[in-house]
Every structure is written in C-alpha cells, then in structure tokens.
A and B are shown apart, each in its own frame.
Chain A
C-alpha cells in the first residue's frame, strides 16, 4: 500500500508536530532575554511576554496560532543571528513593532475575538499600548534606580514613532491579507 498525502495522514502529522511552534517560540523568547551589546532595552520585555505565552498557552500556539507563533519565533531569533554581522541593535529596533503586534495577536487569540479584522485592530491597540507602557516603564525605572535605559527625549520618541508606524503597517498588512482571504 502506497502512502498518499491523504487528509488523515496530514492530520496525524499535524498532531505530531504541534509541539514545535511553542517550543520554537520558547527558545527564541529565551534568546531574546539575553542582553545584546548596544541593544534596545525594550527587546527583553518582548522576550518576557513571549516566554509567558509559550509557557502558559502552548496548546493554542501548536494549533490555530501555529503560523504567527513560528513567524514570531523567527523574528525574535533574528537579532541573535544579527550579532554575527554586528547589526543586532538595528534589527531589534526594526523588529520590535512587528514582534509586539504578533505578541498581541497571539495574546488575543482566535477564541477571544473571532472576526479577523477586529482582532487585528485590537492587537494593534494592544501592541501600541505595550510600546507606550514599556517606554514609560523604563523611564520611571531610570528615575527610581538611576539607570540610563531611556536617556533622552529623542530616544523615547524614536521608540514611540517607530512603534506607531510599525504596528500600523502590520495592521494594514494583516487586515489586507484577511480581507483578501475572505473575498
């Protein structure tokens, strides 16, 4: 009997492989917690959020949310590879908004909000909230602990500007793809 790529085989394979996305995300999230010379201080916060997701919602990450979980894992791991060519800080700065958006998508999940457009809209708001609160959180940490994580107004504003633009772009992209799938 020849083995064809029939639906039961596919389903069986999917069942066997569903531990991979949460495992990949967990590994990438832990890698994101490792300090990078010259790296942005917000990146480990994204790693912390991703670690929480990988630990507390592994089942969802292995099923309906497998694709965004794998994409997020790749995004979180990219600065580690960027270390080899010395571009890790720039990569972190550029990838933080999309990573925050994907973290928000994974956090909201399909169970909480079933309509994709609304889910992506709420995810964009949540991601933007993360960008704002993380910036403020580190500013107040500086004030309390005397660190220099957010040294200037420009540093905070570039973080907020890149976050707003990046999250907005991710929303437009995701909503556009969702609309295309629906039509």
Chain B
C-alpha cells in the first residue's frame, strides 16, 4: 500500500489529525465566543460540529473504518462555517452564506453516505450494494435527509415557535441546493469508488488485529 493513499498510512493519518485539530480549534473558539456573548445557538452548533469533525478520527480509531482525510478537512470547514455564520449572523447579512453551507453540508453528507454504504457492504456482504450503484443510493439518501431536515425545521417552527424557515423561496432554495449538492457528489464520486473499495478491509493494519 502506497503511503500517499487517501485512507491508509502515516501521511493520511497526519493530515487527518491536522484537519481535526484545526477544525476543533476553530469550533472551540466559536463555542467560547457564543458562551461569552450569551448566545446558546452558535455554542450548540459548535458542539455539534465538534462531534462531526472528530467522527472520522474516532471511526478510524475505534470502528476500524478509515475515511479519506479530505473528508475530515471538508467536514471541519463546513461545521466551522456553519457555527461561525450563526455567531456573526452571516446567515442574515450575507445572502450566499446559507447557500454555501447547505451545498457543502449536503456534499459532505452524500460523501459520508457513499462511504458508509461501501463500508457496511464490506462488513455485511449479504446486504452489499455494487460500488457502481452506491452513488445513486447516496443521491436518494441525501435528498431524503435534505427533506427530513426541512421537515424538522418546519416542525420545530410549528411546535416550539422558532423561526428556522423564513419563507417559501428560502425552503425551495435550500432543497434545490441540497439536490444540487447530492447530484454533484453522485456525478463526481464514481471514479473514486473503486479506489475506496480497494482500501477498505484494512482493519488488521489499523489496530493490529
């Protein structure tokens, strides 16, 4: 196995560690900033972001499931931009902020779904899906999760009196961006699926089993 693999090896692990530390540092800053000005929502978003950012490292370490370091980096950037955007009210003042974070978030989500479906298929061959079909499955799942997100926002607004959804056009644009992000990943990811497929099943190299 080459040391420049995006998944296995010291270079990939070093990059993953670097991206995790950078992301966690930014998110801790947002957390502290949110608490300092008495705003719970950005602090909560930062905490959630920390969980997402550390997930690839934890997955590699404890579930024997290596993920590409680039995924960690993109996740760190997206979660930071989301939490930071809430803290400085970029969602209210920068018209493209919502579009940017939605697109990046759904792209990360679709990538995660691709990897998760691939990894689950490796562990449980009886429910494995052919690698060439996985991007289509992830497209469907990403759209479904985008819809679920909007439905949850709608329910929170209705039940708790929050204002997570601003207008019909806001919801429609969010959903459109979700679908665009998911389609982009479904179009771009297939050439990498074979390589990722090869790289999985490396448990013994990761934890010496």
Contacts and interface: CB of A to CB of B under 8 A. Distances in A.
Interface of A: 115, 117-118, 122, 124-126, 128-129, 131-133, 135-136, 139-140, 150, 152-153, 156-157, 160-161, 163-164
Contact of A125 (B141, B167, B171, B176): B141
Contact of A164 (B127, B140, B148, B170): B148
Given A132-B147, A161-B154, A164-B147, A156 B140 contact: no
A153 B143 CA distance: 18
Contacts of A150: 168
A118 B129 CA distance: 9
A157 B144 contact: no
Contacts of B141: 125
Nearest to A130: B143
B172 A156 contact: yes
B171 A132 contact: no
A139 B172 contact: yes
Given A126-B140, A129-B143, A132-B146, A157 B172 contact: no
B162 interface: no
Given A118-B129, A129-B140, A152 B168 contact: yes
B140 A132 contact: no
Contacts of B154: 157, 160-161
Interface residues of B, number: 24
Given A118-B129, A128-B140, A129-B140, A157 B179 contact: no
Given A125-B144, A129-B143, A160 B168 contact: no
B151 A157 contact: yes
Interface in B167-199: 167-168, 170-172, 175-176, 179
Contacts of A139: 168, 172
A132 B172 contact: no
11 contacts: A118-B127, A125-B137, A125-B140, A132-B175, A133-B179, A153-B167, A156-B172, A157-B151, A157-B165, A160-B154, A164-B151
A153 B147 contact: no
Contacts of B144: 124-125, 128-129, 164
A111 to B, nearest CB: 14
Most buried by A among B129, B165, B168, B175: B168
A160 B151 contact: yes
A136 B144 CA distance: 14
A171 to B, nearest CB: 11
A56 to B, nearest CB: 20
Contacts of A126: 140
B152 to A, nearest CB: 10
Given A132-B179, A153-B167, A161-B151, A122 B137 contact: yes
Nearest to A131: B147
A125 B175 CA distance: 15
B44 to A, nearest CB: 23
B127 A132 contact: no
Contacts of A124: 144
B143 A132 contact: yes
A122 to B, nearest CB: 7
B150 A160 contact: yes
Contacts of B176: 136
